[in-house]
Amino acid sequence: MSVFGPVVKIHPVVLASICDSYERRNEGASRVIGTILGTIDKHSIEVTNCFSVPHNESEDEVAVDMEFAKNMYELHKRVSPTEVIIGWYATGFDITEHSVLIHEYYSREATNPIHLTVDTALQSGKMNIRAYVSAQMGVPGKTVGVMFTPLSVKYIYYDTERIGVDLLQRTRVTPSRTKGLTSDLSQVGSAASRIQDMLTTVLAYIEDVLSGKVTADNSVGRFLMDLVNKVPTITAEDFENMLNSNINDLLMVTYLSNLTQAQIALNEKLVLL
């Protein structure tokens, strides 16, 4: 849903941590809550980390371990000093009355904090992820309430996170729902195969445009031109020599690494004699 306000950019590691906390929740707990960390600029809020916070709630009251939340944040600052508290998360589909009370606490820890909800129970058939900011509403001098306004949510990732996401996606098609890590050489082969498939698609599109089967698109042409300009001008012979040289270096490093491991294992056996 497109709404006004900053865009909330969420990294996969945050969602994985929230789901893990929900699976490990205490017996009888209907939901889990926690602090979300990240960075803020003028146009976006980037959520890069989070941690769960113990809490108990009933129909009449809610209790949150604020001391635990403060200690965890102090530990996180030692590892990632650039990450600050930007709000809190809760599993579930709706915003409850207790959410208002918890949000008041985080309003003291962060300026205009965001509230992230993750539907881990899949009530709507999928894991809906929503972000909100609060605003006071009511008659001045009279009863004042809180209104939660939705924000736009976008999913982003670093290159290292993309590897993990791709691996998790491959587990969906395996009967055991598990997938082992592949070797570096296999990953290179898979990447080369994907590039070859994409190049085949691009060449087929170009041939269709030249033959008149497909109408030319200026935006696609500009993307292709940028792609061609990024490829360095190098002869096939020079490229082959450079590739062979890098492969030889890699094989040499691998050989030395295996030799070192063998020597360490031999020394351990000699010490035990």
What CATH number corresponds to the domain at position 20? 3.40.140.10
Give pLDDT, residue 4.
54
Q: Is the whole-model pTM more than 0.75?
A: no
Q: Measured between alpha carbons, how far is 28 from 55 in angstroms, rounded to an integer?
A: 12
195, part of any domain: yes
What was the pLDDT predicted at 142? 64
Count CA within 13 A, CB hemisphere, residue 231.
10
Alpha-carbon span 202 to 184, nearest angstrom: 27
Q: Which residue has the tokens 């789901």?
A: 19
- Residues 218-222 have a mean pLDDT of 89
* Total tally of structural domains belonging to the chain: 3
Q: Which one has a higher pLDDT value, 19 or 187?
A: 19
Q: Which pLDDT score is estimated for 141?
A: 65
Tell me the mean pLDDT in the region 16-26.
Answer: 89
1 in a domain, yes or no?
Answer: no
pLDDT at 74: 92
- Answer yes or no: is pLDDT of 131 > 70: yes
Domain of 224, in residue numbers: 182-231
* pLDDT band per the 50, 70, 90 thresholds, residue 121: confident
pLDDT confidence tier of residue 1, bands split at 50, 70 and 90 = very low
Mark whether 272 and 226 lie in a shared domain.
Answer: no
Are both 200 and 120 inside the same structural domain? Answer: no
Mean pLDDT of 217-221: 89
